[in-house]
């Protein structure tokens, strides 16, 4: 079945460090891929998405490229801020019409 | 812009009681999803509705039921509550055949069973 695997957290970085959160997926066909962010005590917010191979999603300095050959959708940001501290979820949207989430990666950015 | 509205935001119930969670999707969205997120866990899909019909079912206990009404709002009914039902329950909505598969999430209802 379809599944998403993320690197385990927590990830702790200093402000302005480079961020990579790995995400790989298993799916039939070509699902749309998403990164959602959840700030403490809040709901899920869409961060970025890509709907086909080689698409690059980007938002707020974050970006991720849909790599069909490696079935990956790694999240990157060149310079993180304290305000980026949150839990990040990679997800895929399958043909059945539901989102399947990875286990989430907690990011903590220290000043 | 209008977002997905969930009510209540917080709910405290005792074991064996019943709870009803409500979700109001974004106007014109035809699909509603329910997810359960336990502490420190990823959201787990419970059930979805498309045009008021159940379209998919995930790991939803038999004690839970849900429906989508004619105005497209949805309710998740939870009976014989157990301590393990304590979680954040998210509703999301989307327009299924819009060509854009983005699902928009509500703020969630935090259910605490004591």
pLDDT tens profile B54-92: 988 888 999 999 999 999 999 999 999 999 999 999 999
User: What phi-psi label fits residue A61: left (phi over 0), alpha (psi between -120 and 50 degrees) or beta?
Assistant: left
- State the sign of the Cα–Cα–Cα–Cα dihedral B12, B38, A100, A41: positive
Quick check: B100 pLDDT over 60?
Answer: no
Cis peptide before A7 (omega within 30 of 0): no
pLDDT score recorded for residue B98: 55
Tokens of A24: 């790989």
B103 touches chain A (CB under 8 A): yes
Cβ contact B45–A89 (<8 Å): no
Q: Cα–Cα distance between B49 and B69 in angstroms, integer?
A: 10
Residue B60 CB-density burial (10 A; 0-12 exposed, 13-18 middle, 19+ buried): middle
Query: Which residues of chain A fall short of a pLDDT of 70?
Result: 95-97
Q: Cα–Cα distance between B56 and B33 in angstroms, integer?
A: 9
B90 touches chain A (CB under 8 A): yes
Residues of B in contact with A46 (CB under 8 A): 102, 104-105
pLDDT score recorded for residue B99: 54
pLDDT score recorded for residue B41: 87
* Unique residue bearing structure tokens 């699909």: B31
Q: Cα–Cα distance between B91 and A49 in angstroms, integer?
A: 19
Cβ contact A100–B45 (<8 Å): yes
Q: Band of the pLDDT at B94, cuts 50, 70, 90?
A: confident
Angstroms from B18 CA to nearest CA on chain A: 24
pLDDT tens readout for residues B19-60: 999 999 999 888 899 999 998 888 999 999 989 999 888 889
Q: Band of the pLDDT at B18, cuts 50, 70, 90?
A: very high
Chain-centre distance of CA A111, in angstroms? 23
Q: Cα–Cα distance between B12 and A79 in angstroms, integer?
A: 41
pLDDT score recorded for residue B49: 93
Quick check: B102 pLDDT over 80?
Answer: no
A1 touches chain B (CB under 8 A): no
Residues of B in contact with A88 (CB under 8 A): none
Cβ contact B42–A89 (<8 Å): yes
A36 contacts A92 by C-beta, under 8 angstroms: no
């Amino acid at each position: 079945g379809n599944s998403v695997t993320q690197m385990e957290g927590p990830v702790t970085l200093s402000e302005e460090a480079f961020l990579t959160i790995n995400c790989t997926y298993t799916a039939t066909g070509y699902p749309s891929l998403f990164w959602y962010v959840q700030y403490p005590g809040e709901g899920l917010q869409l961060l970025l998405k890509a709907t086909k191979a080689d698409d690059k999603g980007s938002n707020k300095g974050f970006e991720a490229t849909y790599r069909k050959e490696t079935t990956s959708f790694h999240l990157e940001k060149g310079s993180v801020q304290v305000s980026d501290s949150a839990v990040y979820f990679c997800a895929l949207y399958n043909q059945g019409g539901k989102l399947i989430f990875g286990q989430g990666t907690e990011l903590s950015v220290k000043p | 812009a209008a977002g997905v509205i969930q009510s209540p935001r917080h709910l405290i119930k005792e074991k064996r009681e019943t709870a009803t969670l409500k979700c109001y999707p974004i106007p014109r969205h035809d699909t509603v999803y329910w997810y359960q997120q336990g502490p420190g866990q990823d959201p787990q899909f419970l059930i979805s509705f498309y045009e008021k019909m159940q379209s998919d079912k995930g790991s939803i206990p038999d004690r839970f039921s849900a429906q989508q009404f004619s105005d497209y709002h949805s309710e998740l009914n939870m009976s014989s509550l157990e301590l393990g039902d304590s979680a954040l329950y998210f509703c999301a909505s989307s327009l299924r055949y819009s060509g854009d598969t983005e699902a928009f999430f509500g703020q969630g209802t935090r259910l605490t069973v004591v």
